[in-house]
Amino acid sequence: SVARTPEPGPVPKDSIRLYSMRFCPYAQRTRLVLHAKGIKFDTINIHLRNKPEWFLEKNPLGMVPTLETPAGEVIYESPITCEYLDEAYPEKKLLPSTPFGKARQRMMLEHFSNVELHFYKIPVRRLKGEDVSGLEAELKVSLTKLDEHLVKKKTKFFDGDTITMIDYMLWPFFERIEMGDLEPFLDNTPELKKWRAHMLEDPAVKATIHSVESHKAFFKGYAVEKPDYDYGL
């Protein structure tokens, strides 16, 4: 079980280590990039309510995703870990090559980061019987903007007809749309709905996805602050 995770040995020479949590959308971003780029890695899952002391020594914030290199370098924060991987393993680049291309993706991510937690907040507050109309309105605006972006671009994905970094940054939250019964939000965003269908065909998405049942089961515990990090093992 993750709660008693012993301190791991050093990271093997030709590998990289990911400290993760199986249901964390932020850690999934890093897992998507590792898979998409074909990077050799091992995973250690951390019990986020009972973090081992050795992990806090590596990352005092105690957050996942955290990467560790064979040289003992530690990198955390999901967009930072993903950009690091794209630079450290330059084959199969996911970020655009131009400074403006990179900036444009970062701006999109920045806009989205204002509502990404709505995918959790809305269902949690609904369960508590609280009013979520304000949060729902904000999420609708954000999804409409993403849909309009795809309409203007006329491409399958957010930055062309192949998947790039921004698609992987957004994906974990859209994977969880059924977890909180938020699918009706996609009824007014047909291009976003198509994007989601295209993403489901991607090998890295297939390698990291959880079933709707698993997401719902984990969410049930998470919503009452009793997450089962070992669910399904």
Neighbouring residues of 9: CB distance < 8 A, sequence distance ≥ 6: none
Asked whether residue 226 is assigned to any structural domain, the reply reads yes
Q: Are residues 103 and 135 in the same domain?
A: yes
Question: Same domain, yes or no, for 224 and 189?
Answer: no
Active-site residue, from 24, 67, 150, 204: 24
Residue 207 lies in a domain: no
Domain containing 131 equals 99-201
Residue 19 belongs to what H/E stretch?
Answer: strand 16-20
Q: Would residue 24 show up in a list of annotated catalytic residues for this protein?
A: yes
**Across the strands, what pairs with 75?**
67
Give the tens place of pLDDT for each residue, 72-129. Answer: 999 999 999 999 999 999 999 999 999 999 999 999 999 999 999 999 999 999 999 9
CA-derived radius of gyration, the chain = 18
Q: Is residue 24 part of a domain?
A: yes
Residue 220 included in any domain = yes
Total domains present in the chain: 2
Q: Per-residue pLDDT tens for 55-65? A: 999 999 999 99
**pTM value?**
0.96
CATH number of the domain encompassing residue 56: 3.40.30.10
